[in-house]
Amino acid sequence: MSWRSPGKSGLQSLDRMAGLLRGRANRYAWMGLVVALLAILAATLLSCQYEHGDYTIGGLLDVQQNNPALWALDLMPIAFLIWGQYIGSVMSYQAGALVLDETRELRDEANRLQYELSRQSVAGHATGLPNRHALAGAINTAIHRLDGKRSGSFAVLVLTTEHYHEIAQAHGEAAAAQYIGQLGERLQNVTGGGDLLAHFGHDDFGILVAQASDETTARHYASRLQLALDVPITVGRSAFSLRASIGIALYPAHGPNAETLLRHAETAKYAAVAARRDYLVYEPTLDDARTEASRLSAELHGALYNEGLGDDYQLQTPLRAGLPPRVRLLPYWEHPRRGRLGEADFLHLPDRVSLIHGLTTWLLREGLARLSAWRASGAPQLQLVLRLPDAAVRELGFEDLIQRMLHSHDLPGSALVLEIGERALALAGDAQRTQLAALRQAGVALCLDGVGEPGASALTALYHPLDEYRFAPALIRRSGAEPLVRDALRKLVELTRMLRLRIVYAGVDHEAERALIEQLGGDYAEGRAYRPALTPQAVERWLQAGMR
């Protein structure tokens, strides 16, 4: 009889059967012993009756001493015991051998499956790199090795880029696979002999950096990865610049096992993506920020459809004659937990298309409805300035939406100024540029918001259709106190004029700042030094007072 089982339950069944056979052999041995004893007793009694005519103790002892046939019968219990133990030992040996053979086969099968799983390609791209499962195993192995030394550290890095889906949609999956292959080769050129590079799927990769003993070393390693990605990747006849966001987690500071370290590295990666940083090291506050962002997105959905959002307006004061008056929409959210939130807290929060569309539609509907009423009540040249969510430029057919909203309120395109962040423009493809050009052709003015912020370029107008720059409040604030920043602002104003763009100063809150920007010259200014934000009712009173 052979017994084979492919799994843990089969081994358990095999062990139970072996125990059953051993128990049965021992039981039959004891039964044989009892039968032998009964046979000895019956033979002794019969012999005693035959020789002495009755049953006495003396007669029984005499029969046992003087009858050789009973001596052979007395040996039967010992024979049965020996036989039972022999049969039990044989069965135990055979069962143990079966268990060992099955265990060895299962171990070999598990090792084979483990190897195949660690080398399995992900997301349809055969990069030849280990996958996430293999990286997790290597991390746990490194942890066990360091636990034996009771000291030491290493880093886990997770990175992603921004262009995979754009390439896949525009050029197909074959081009995307080529992009991933070249990206993997770049990263392999950086990783050292003791490091492990793994492909998680699409353009997500993970790296175990065995020699990164502290945060400084891990940051230096991340900088080396960024340098390796500086040169654009060529797919077909198109070149794509690379921008990677890297999350860093350190053992043992950021987790005791592989899954925790990978999760924390990914949390830091998502934070780096959101902050437009090359890399970030994990810290516990990032968990709270990520959870809070998801919660705010869900609450924003309810606020949109339950009148939880409101609108104030900031006047943009013309700095020279002949310019039409303007009001800039300042959306706010009366949040039940966090109080009033400004546009910077939630405007770029949505990550679902339905929520992006809902927020963009609300901004246009509220702002254009107010503008239509104010223009009809005696301010026909009044313009509305409105900031679009970055995701709206990237995800929506915003040109058609804006045109329909203008038409529904009987407003010309020249009544609207759209502010767009540089991040949205940087990620804009041909379709988005075509929509922006169509809006501009219809009279809608396009303004680049946040000029002067860290990472912003003053030459964006060379690559995108724009009409004006809105200088960041932080730039205006620092220029009032730091001579070097003030000189840089003057040069930036000169460059903007050379680009033939209008200039809007934001965040002019003090008289010294107002005096500076009026000396520099420009087109519009906004801030408390001119007039604080107004409610819709206050805007109506301002209009009734002749915009004074």
pLDDT tens digit sequence for 312-347: 999 999 999 999 999 999 999 988 878 888 888 888
- Of all helices (H) and strands (E), which one includes residue 431? helix 430-441
* The pLDDT value given to residue 38: 75
Answer for the pair 104, 19: CB distance below 8 angstroms, yes or no: no
124 has a pLDDT exceeding 60 = no
158 has a pLDDT exceeding 80 = yes
Pairing of strands 204-209, 154-161: antiparallel
Every domain range in the chain assigned CATH 3.20.20.450:
298-544
> DSSP string covering 456-480, please?
--TTGGGTS--SEEEE-HHHHHHHT
The dihedral sign for the CA sequence 396, 469, 384, 382 = negative
Q: Between 84 and 278, name the one with better pLDDT.
A: 278
d(CA 469, CA 434): 20
10 Å Cβ neighbour count for 382? 20
75: phi then psi, degrees, rounded to nearest 5: -80, -10
Locate 375 and state its tokens: 């223009």
Residue type, 176: A
Question: Can you give the pTM of this predicted structure?
Answer: 0.56
Token pair 């003791």 in the structure block, residue: 194
25-29, 143-147, 164-168, 328-332: the lowest-pLDDT one: 25-29
- Of all helices (H) and strands (E), which one includes residue 76? helix 76-119
Every domain range in the chain assigned CATH 3.30.70.270:
132-282
Residue 454 is classified by DSSP as: T
CATH of domain 132-282: 3.30.70.270
160-164, 248-252, 412-416: the lowest-pLDDT one: 160-164
Give the SS3 label for residue 124: coil
d(CA 342, CA 163): 31
> How many CA atoms, within 13 angstroms, populate the side-chain half-sphere of residue 68?
0
CA triplet 487, 492, 493: central angle to 5 degrees?
100
Prior bond of 412 cis (ω within 30°)? no
pLDDT tens digit sequence for 500-539: 999 999 999 999 999 999 999 999 999 999 999 999 999 9
d(CA 297, CA 349): 6
235-249, 326-340, 397-411, 505-519: the lowest-pLDDT one: 235-249
3-state helix, strand, coil in the chain (%, to 5): 55, 15, 25
Q: Provide the mean pLDDT of the chain.
A: 81
* The pLDDT value given to residue 7: 47
d(CA 432, CA 398): 9
Prior bond of 324 cis (ω within 30°)? no
Confidence band, pLDDT 50/70/90 cuts, at residue 122 = very low
In the chain, the percentage of residues whose pLDDT exceeds 70 is: 76
> DSSP string covering 343-356, please?
HHHHTT---SHHHH
Mean pLDDT along residues 301-321: 88
411-437: b (≥16 Cβ within 10 Å) or e: bebebbbbbbbbbbbbbbeeebeebbe
**Residue 45: burial class (beta carbons within 10 Å; 0-12, 13-18, 19+):** middle
Residue type, 547: M
d(CA 270, CA 187): 20
* The pLDDT value given to residue 490: 93
d(CA 292, CA 313): 28
d(CA 533, CA 530): 10
Confidence band, pLDDT 50/70/90 cuts, at residue 243 = confident
Token pair 């290597």 in the structure block, residue: 138
CATH of domain 298-544: 3.20.20.450
149-174: b (≥16 Cβ within 10 Å) or e: eeeebbbbbbbbbbbbeebbeebeee
Mean pLDDT along residues 452-473: 82
Answer for the pair 473, 507: CB distance below 8 angstroms, yes or no: yes
